[in-house]
Structure 1
Amino acid sequence: MSEPKTERVELKKLRTDDLHKLKRGEIVVDENGKKYIVRKTLLPMHMGGGPANLGDPNDRTLRKIEADILIPDLMDTRIQKYDCHSQLADYVKCSNENGDIIGWFTCRGVLKVYKACKLEKFMDPKVRQEVTEDYLRQRSEYRQTGKTPNERNFEAYMKWKYGKPLNENANEQEPKT
Structure 2
Amino acid sequence: MDAGLAALLGAGVGGLLGAGGTLGSSYLTGRLQGRGQHAQWRRQGRREAYSNFIAALTAFRHQVDRCFFAVESEQGLTVEIPQLEALWPAVRAALPVVAVEGPRSVADQAAKLERHAEELVVLLDMSREEQGPYLGNAHGHLVEINRGLPVFADLARQALDQPDSSTLQGFPAAREGR
- Normalization by structure 2: what TM-score? 0.31
Task: Select the structure that is richer in helix.
Answer: 2
Larger Rg: 2
Larger relative contact order (Cα-Cα within 8 Å, sequence gap ≥ 6)? 2
